A and B are shown apart, each in its own frame.
Chain A
Amino acid sequence: MAERKRKALPIAAIIATIPLMIESVGVYIFGIGLSVYFSFTNTRVFPSYKFTGFGQYARLWTADIWWTAFKNIWVFGFLSIAANLIFGFLLAVFMDQRIKQEDLLRTIFLYPFAMSLIVTGLVWQWVLDPNYGLDATVHGWGWTSFHFSPLVDARTAIYGLVVAGVWQGAGVTMAILLAGLRGVDAEIWKAARVDGIPMWRTYLFIALPMMRGAVATAVVLQCINVLRVYDLIIAMTGAGPGNATMMPAVYVLQMLTDRQNVAQGMAAATMMLLPVLLTIIGVGVYRLFAGRKAVTA
């Protein structure tokens, strides 16, 4: 049957997958290859194909701004992923307690995700405004020692970004983890109760390990969002104050546009690609050795 199917392979199927071929080869092999190649040239605005070695990388890793971006992505990534997962997990667990109004709460927790990160950034910039925002409001209530306007201070601006990022994305993590929780075998809860295991321990040590798939999905999603973070920065801090909240994605775009230094930007972009590439290769090798589970994606 399979034999016949292949023999009957129509030209139509190939025609239908032409866009797929063009895109996967053209954009993801040729395009990325070209980007990486440009990082070894002196391209400013228009492409120059003359190979000049690792100079761009040397310049990149001696640039203070890039180091700031590099440190920021780790701080931002660690804080926002940790906060997102903890908050999302707590919300999922609490939503799982047979509460009424679950649909309403789900709607409330998830709606920020429907809005763009530009909108998110602009709203939080206003909420955290030092003169008219949260600070001023709480002071007006009489709590004058209250202080939370992180965006104006170079040392704290990144925490403001974390708050906004968690606000936008925690609902999604909640939705993913709640689906994971609901997929856990119901017998587990009965068995744990019979054994007298407290509820919180059942969640943390029995249910959580059983929903690895959902957790992995949430983590991967968060990692991609952190690596790509651009809109939020532009809307909320413009990478400032100074360059305090510079991020790799912003650095690349600045090199491509204002600074007109494409090769330098491509070197930075290549560094952004590296963790993705290493992870995929790592996962691939792991799967290969772990007995080739079906690639269900």
Chain B
Amino acid sequence: MSAAVLEAGARPADEPWGPMPKRVSIGRIGLYAFLVISAAFFLVPLYVMIITSLKEMPEVLDSNVLSLPLKPTIQPWIDAWLHACTGGDCSGLHPGFFNSVKITVPAVIVSIGISSLTGYALSFWNYKGANLFFLLLIFGAFVPYQVVIYPLILALRTVHLFSTLAGIIAVHTVFGMPVLVLLFRNFYVGLPIELFKAARVDGAGFWQTFFRIMLPMSLPITVVALILQVTGIWNDFLFGLVFAGRDNWPMTVQLNNIVHTTQGVPNYDINMAATILTAAVPLAIYFISGRWFVRGIAAGAVKG
């Protein structure tokens, strides 16, 4: 699927595609023209990224952004990964990649774990007052992050977690929870109540019902949550910049530093290779997961 898309990226408008309509009306032609031009608009930046990253700098400066590389090279990719400089540090983007992995994996596991449990408690064991907390959390989904950043810095400083890996993981968990709890709660609410009652009759308690019955059934929603969280945390810039600390800066922060700290003529080829590398993980998730991704977006979008 991804290969097909990339090919289309190179030449979106060259060949007519889709089946021949039975009657070729003006409207039908206009329809496809609009869609193909729109597709070109969406694909051009990806195309530009890829071909720029395959050129050497002299060729970049000598050609335009749309022309195909005459002597394709993967050197910019190697440089971006291993040698690109941020300030005095010339170790490329790979530390950022591993930092992002170290941040994303635990943050995703912790936030999904806590959120599924909370969603379950809210949907089947709802006690008076619990919904009040829940409404507060939904409110949290709309709040601009800038309002809570400073208190979080203070709190993390107090427990000596500011500028640490654990700190940034905690921050991602906090900001992932509103949407995730909503997601899981709505999923569990949709399950038949008989399931829950049957478990109760059989003597299963709170935890048993959760681990033996609800958790195995929530695989589909967990996949959606996984997609949502991995892309969200991988793509985050603001929290990584503020909370992670220099040693743990995620890939997005390092990418931005690499691109914006070069002196003299920027290395556009390396910059674009670095940009693709940073986008690679979420793009791969997107192309592999397909419709699930759309569901994740829809789920994330229905915050209100």
Give chain B residues whose Cβ lies under 8 Å from the Cβ of A137: 64-67
Q: Give B182-221 as 1s and 0s: 1 = Cβ < 8 Å from A's Cβ atoms.
A: 1000100000000000000000011100000000000000
Q: Is B4 an interface residue (CB 8 A)?
A: yes
Q: Are A132 and B133 interface neighbours, CB within 8 A?
A: no
By beta carbon, the residue of chain B nearest A119 is B279
Distance in angstroms between the alpha carbons of A286 and B147 in the assembled complex: 26
Whether B42 lies near A171 (C-beta < 8 A) is yes
CB distance B297 to A116 under 8 Å? Answer: no
| Interfacial chain A residues near B120, Cβ < 8 Å | 16
Q: Is the CB of B17 within 8 A of A101?
A: yes
Residue of B nearest to A95 (CB): B35
Specify which of B19, B48, B66, B133 is in contact with A20 (CB 8 Å cutoff): B133
With A and B bound together, what is the CA distance between A25 and B148 in angstroms? 12
Confirm or deny: A52 has a beta carbon within 8 angstroms of a beta carbon on chain B.
no
| Chain B 128-142 interface residues, beta-carbon cutoff 8 Å to A | 128, 130, 133-140, 142
A270 B147 Cβ-Cβ under 8 A: yes
Answer whether A99 and B39 are a contact pair too, CB < 8 Å, given A20-B134, A35-B150, A172-B297: no
Instruction: Identify 6 residue pairs between A and B in the complex whose beta-carbon atoms are under 8 Å apart, listed by A's number.
Output: A16-B206, A35-B147, A127-B44, A140-B64, A175-B297, A221-B301
Number of CB contacts from chain A to chain B under 8 A: 285
Q: A249: which of B4, B144, B252, B278 is its contact (CB, 8 Å)?
A: B144
A252 to B114, CA, bound (A): 31
* A252 vs B148: C-alpha distance when bound (angstroms): 11
Q: Which 4 A-B pairs have the closest CB atoms?
A: A116-B235, A12-B206, A24-B136, A13-B125
Determine how close the nearest CB of chain B comes to the CB of A108; give it in whole angstroms: 5
| Chain B 264-304 near chain A by CB (<8 Å), digits 1 or 0 | 00001001100100110011011100100110011001111
| Closest Cβ neighbor of A110 among chain B residues | B294
Return the chain A residue nearest B131 by Cβ. A295
Chain B residues, Cβ within 8 Å of A235 = 237, 256, 259
Known: A123-B48, A127-B44. Contact between A34 and B137, CB under 8 A?
no
Complex contacts, B127 vs chain A, CB 8 Å? 6, 9, 13-14
Name the A residues within 8 Å of B1 (CB-CB). 107
Complex: how many Å from CA A222 to CA B268? Answer: 31
Assembled-state Cα–Cα distance A270/B145 (Å): 11
B231 at the interface (CB under 8 A from A): yes
The answer, yes or no, to whether A47 is at the interface (CB within 8 Å) is: yes
B143 touches A126 (CB 8 A): no
Whether A12 contacts B148 by the Cβ 8 Å rule is no
Interface residue? A82 (CB, 8 A): no
Residues of B77-123 whose CB lies within 8 A of A: 114, 117-118, 120-122
Stretch at the interface among A151-159, A203-211, A261-269: A261-269
**Does B13 belong to the interface (CB within 8 Å)?**
no
A28 at the interface (CB under 8 A from B): yes
Which residue of the partner chain, among B34, B121, B285, B302, contacts A90 with CB atoms under 8 Å?
B34
Whether A23 is near chain B, meaning CB under 8 Å from some CB there, is yes
Q: Told that A109-B42, A111-B46, A265-B150 touch, could you supply 6 new A-B pairs with CB distance under 8 A?
A: A10-B206, A24-B133, A94-B35, A235-B237, A256-B149, A270-B147
A266 nearest in chain B by CB position: B150
Chain B residues with Cβ under 8 A from A36's Cβ? 147
Set A19, A167, A231, A252: member contacting B146, Cβ < 8 A = A252
Residues in B with CB closer than 8 Å to A285 are: none
Task: Verify if B58 is at the interface (C-beta below 8 Å from A).
Answer: no
- Contact check, B290 vs A132: say whether CB atoms are below 8 A apart: no
The reply on B234 being an interface residue by CB < 8 A is yes
Digitize B35-52: 1 where CB-to-A-CB distance is under 8 Å, 0 elsewhere: 100110111111011001
Contacts of B150 in A (CB 8 A): 34-35, 38, 256, 262, 265-266, 269
Q: Is the CB of B18 within 8 A of A99?
A: yes
Q: Which residues of A contact B44 (CB under 8 A)?
A: 127
